[in-house]
Chains A and B, each alone.
Chain A
Amino acid sequence: MPPVPERYVLAVDQGTTSTRSLVFDRGGRMVAVRQREHRQYFPRPGWVEHDPMEIWANTQRTAAQVLADVPGTGEVMALGIANQRETTVVWDRDTGRPVTRALVWQDTRTDELVTELAARPGAALVAERSGMAIAGYFSGPRLRWILDHVPRARERAEAGQLLFGTMETWLIWNLTGGPDGGVHVTDVTNASRTLLMDVRSCRWDPDLLAFFDVPAAMLPEIRPSVGVLGTATALSPALPITGALGDQQAALFGQTCFAPGEAKCTYGTGSFLLQNTGTELVHTRSGSISTVAYQLTGEPVHYALEGSVAVAGALVQWLRDGLGLISSAAEVETLARTVSDNGGCYVVPAFSGLLAPHWRGEARGLVAGLTSYVTKGHLARAALEATGWQTRDVVRAMAADSGLSLPALRVDGGMTTNNLLMQFVADALDTPVVRPMVGETVSLGAAYAAGLAVGLWSDVEALRRNWHRAAQWSPSPERARALTAEYPTWERAVQLSIAWGAP
């Protein structure tokens, strides 16, 4: 009897700095990976752009390379896509050419527009309908900016000549034929980040479209995250595209957080904590946001609470590049371990304001509690602790909103190799922190979504069986008590950083 060929899934992780193509086996193990970085354009202060054509070329190239890496006897069953969220592309449906470069999620050019929109009558509708307060962080205002500023864009959009999409929409349209019959769809998690979708019905909302003055003709069709989206005829062999998720939702899926209360935090440049809240939308009032977690075809939408922190690893990068205290990011732990505590020093890394749960754009960073006793070791420790404290801020807000307890925090991202930080997070939350065996949770989530749809895995329980604990940091009761007593001091430092930046 010939051996049964191994079956695989291809995942594309279209991220902020690079596009990566990865192949996973049925055990959820990574078999091959290819990566290509793309150029970052900074045409003006606060503006960040990507070239969608470059990203499309990188996707084709890395996918072709990684498919060639797969052992000859194997069969790749499907393609799943995870993407940088809220980055906005508008292109011509006949030529396939973008009308301008993509406006990246970090881009702050819509700040004025957002302030103006938020002051208008009826602005309360946005939070009520979309689940999120108006902020430049989301893609709807970016789309509006393009319509307002690119010559003839509005007129052509209204005539049905231009298409809008986030990165997964752009890639799926190109993969399925582009101008020649490309499928114009978005997944529900990405759609939920536009401010244009009714978060309950998961449809484009006419009132929100009117409020933002966006023509419905240019919007993609909203689809479940898990299910057939189209056939990627641009790849050889052609593959069904059967999964798409925004990157943080993909990480939640890859971490198999399928039950209400289960949560993951990705520690990268910033930190992104998402907690599954089940099929009921949670009304937020404490500073976390309600977002769509995922949807399987034929099933109700699952929601999540999200707490995004802008600066986590970026603070360590600043210690390295801005201050020259360390020569590599990992050395921050070595430096922090030269002292046994923070020496009374607190760092609030509000480099460009504070996101969740404070949402204070005016806040600015500060170092508080300096005395001549404080050394660079204390500063390094305070920097790591800032990331732990910010996780506590977010978890506390979520607990207030959802009423769900956090059984354990599943972590991923580059900073999870920092044992001092992970132990601090466990102690600050008084909750176990666990790291999974596969650190590539974003691309794994996209692979899981795609593989579920084609039956490579029978159900989400099969995915849970693939999740294995690689490390666990358990809270020390004594440290947890001490940190709870210390928490008001951190909160005071945060208030000072907000006051410092106030006009």
Chain B
Amino acid sequence: MAYGRAVPGSVQSIERAAAILQVVAGSGGTLGVTDIAEAVGLAKTTAHSLLRTLLQVGFVEQDPATGRYALGVALLRLGSTLDTNELRARASNWADALAARSGHAVRLAALAGDEVVVVHHVFRPDDSAQLLEVGTALPSGCALGKVLRAHSHPHTGSRSGARSSAVATELAEVRARGWAADRVEHQPGVGGIAAPVRGAGGLVVAALGITGAQSALFDVRGTPRPLVLSMVTDAAHAVSRELGAPGA
């Protein structure tokens, strides 16, 4: 079977890449570039440049010793969402450090459908009575919710179509600057700051944030205090790096 000629209306290089992936998947990591080129009916140089691109995006891996190809980690992760328990295990040390340094309660949240659900919760380090909120849903207008909504796909959820332009503008801002703030969070006088956590594919998989007294988090004009803000964004960045996010 040869894939040298494109079906009208289709993109030839994608077809060829798909054929290569099928061959690699079927070979169990036993084929080099010559065998793959032969199997899909391409010139060796063409197969090689396609494989190089697939290598770059992580869809294939090459054994450095033998030069043979196997399916890559990024491909295997496609379509599988990050397990929230896995997310908590990987984020735990960074969440603890954020709570210890900032002196505020820390929450890690992810979207479950349209809901903003707490995946991990570290108490405010003052030993007062607090309840573990893991599994509970938060109002979508909190800082964590804003981060998650700003990065969610627009077609999820019926409400997205009805988003007011003010909300849309705010979410665009959240996307652009890499954090969200909420000056009136769960209770009066309490606010929140949150930043996105990215997974291995680079997509936002969760939001990490703190909640605390408004005066501790924001200055009189309502701008986040730089030190507190950098603690949150640094911690979110560290979790992203832990998850293998590109560039984190």
Contact = CB atoms under 8 A, between A and B. Distances in A.
B86 A328 contact: yes
B85 A470 contact: no
Contact of B122 (A30, A470, A473): A470
Interface in A458-481: 468-473
Interface in B116-175: 120-123, 125-127, 130, 132, 134-135
Contact of B127 (A414, A419, A438, A469): A469
Contact of A439 (B88, B90, B96, B120): B96
A329 interface: yes
A334 B123 contact: no
B101 interface: yes
A18 interface: no
Contacts of B122: 437, 470-471
Given A469-B123, A470-B122, A471-B121, A438 B85 contact: no
Given A470-B96, A470-B99, A472-B130, A331 B123 contact: no
A468 B130 CA distance: 12
Interface string B173-187: 000000000000000
B126 A468 contact: yes
By size class, the interface of chain B is 20 to 34
A328 B200 CA distance: 15
A470 B125 contact: yes
Contacts of B93: 439
Contacts of B135: 419
A312 to B, nearest CB: 15
Given A417-B89, A469-B127, A471-B132, A438 B100 contact: yes
A39 B243 CA distance: 27
A29 B102 CA distance: 12
B86 to A, nearest CB: 4
A333 B127 contact: no
A334 B80 CA distance: 14
Contact of B92 (A333, A439, A468, A473): A439
Contact of B85 (A29, A30, A330, A469): A330
Contact of A417 (B92, B127, B132): B92
B84 interface: yes
Interface residues of A, number: 23
Interface string A46-83: 00000000000000000000000000000000000000
A307 to B, nearest CB: 25
Residue of A329, A332, A437, A439 with most chain B CB atoms under a 10 A cut-off: A437
Nearest to A465: B127
A418 interface: yes
Contacts of A419: 88, 132, 134-135
Contacts of A30: 97
Interface in A314-347: 328-334
A27 B120 CA distance: 24
A417 B108 CA distance: 13
A473 B120 CA distance: 13
Contacts of B123: 468-472
B85 A331 contact: yes
Contact of A414 (B85, B89, B97): B89
A29 B100 contact: yes
Contacts of A333: 85
A330 B89 contact: yes
A328 B83 contact: yes
A375 B126 CA distance: 43
Nearest to B90: A330
24 contacts: A328-B83, A329-B89, A330-B83, A330-B85, A330-B90, A333-B85, A334-B84, A334-B85, A417-B89, A417-B92, A419-B132, A437-B122, A438-B100, A439-B92, A439-B93, A439-B96, A468-B100, A468-B126, A469-B123, A469-B125, A469-B127, A472-B123, A472-B132, A473-B132
Interface of B: 83-86, 88-90, 92-93, 96-97, 99-101, 120-123, 125-127, 130, 132, 134-135
